[in-house]
Amino acid sequence: MSDARTSTGPTTHVAAIVLAAGASSRMGRNKMLLAVDGEPMLRRAVRRALAADCFPVVVVVGHEAEQARAALADLDCTFATSPDPTGPTSTSLHAGLRALGPKVDATIVMLGDMVHVTEDMLRALIASSVTGSAPLEVSRYGEVLAPPLLFRRALWPELLAWTGEGCGKAVVKAHQTEAAMHDWPVERLHDIDTPADYEELTR
């Protein structure tokens, strides 16, 4: 494990990677295009990343990529394509990381279906990274560690070497004692996976 603490400098340029490549098999249709408060779920996530001043915002697409692009046509974001939308989360995350330029100091990793993640949550991660020296900023919902997660560039090689589910779960675990934790209400953890989830959200 690399000692990220010795290789981090000030964080001034924070990007966002929004993972939205999956086939939504449990939903039965592309959940990223379902309306939440009058706009597609994916658009809601991207708009909040932009409102938090993340730049660039990279959206990783795969399943029904053209429809996803169309839903974001007027937003200032860029796209990366997952080579295996049905594969592990790491495949999409790697595509997003490779799309970031050399001037980016850190990136927030988001899931497009975590509809309760707010602009203020993203801003809190960024502010902590700007003023602190932790190699990553982690969202905690009760006992659960989950996105949004902010990784400084020093951790990207570990993310690129990792394969699996959970937005870099192994890397988060390896550096958990060094991380800055952000506690959020447990209900904000809920994502939208099934028709019942969506019905409850829109009821």
Domain that holds residue 167: 12-202
Whether residue 127 lies inside any domain: the answer is yes
pLDDT at 201: 87
Burial class (CB in 10 A: 0-12, 13-18, 19+), 9: exposed
Total-model pTM: 0.92
Whether residue 2 lies inside any domain: the answer is no
Burial annotation 134-157 (CB, 10 A radius, 16+ → b, else e): bbbbbbebeeebbbbbbbbbbbbe
pLDDT at 23: 78
* Residue corresponding to tokens 């997003």: 96
pLDDT at 200: 87
pLDDT at 9: 55
Whether residue 193 lies inside any domain: the answer is yes
pLDDT at 12: 79
**Mean pLDDT (whole number) for 145-163:** 97
Cα 8 from Cα 164, distance rounded (Å): 25
Distances (CA, A) of 138 to 102, 106, 201: 23, 13, 25
Whether residue 1 lies inside any domain: the answer is no
Report pLDDT digits (tens) over 28-50: 778 899 999 999 999 999 999 99
Of the chain, the percentage scoring pLDDT greater than 70 comes to 94
Q: Which residue has the higher pLDDT, 135 or 194?
A: 135
Average pLDDT, the chain: 91
Q: Which residue has the higher pLDDT, 130 or 10?
A: 130
Report pLDDT digits (tens) over 93-148: 999 999 999 999 999 999 999 999 999 999 999 999 999 999 999 999 999 999 99
pLDDT at 93: 97
pLDDT at 168: 92
pLDDT at 1: 37
pLDDT at 5: 36
Tell me the H-state helices in the chain.
41-51, 65-71, 89-98, 119-131, 156-161, 169-174, 195-202
Whether residue 172 lies inside any domain: the answer is yes
Give me the number of domains the chain comprises.
Answer: 1
Is pLDDT at 7 greater than 80 in this prediction? no
pLDDT at 174: 96
Whether residue 5 lies inside any domain: the answer is no
Whether residue 3 lies inside any domain: the answer is no
Of the chain, the percentage scoring pLDDT greater than 90 comes to 78
Burial annotation 45-81 (CB, 10 A radius, 16+ → b, else e): bbbbbbebebbbbbbbbbbbbeebeebbeeeebebbe
3-class DSSP state for residue 26? coil
Sign, CA torsion 16/22/26/27: positive
Cα 47 from Cα 25, distance rounded (Å): 25
The CATH number for 123's domain is 3.90.550.10
Whether residue 38 lies inside any domain: the answer is yes
pLDDT at 10: 60
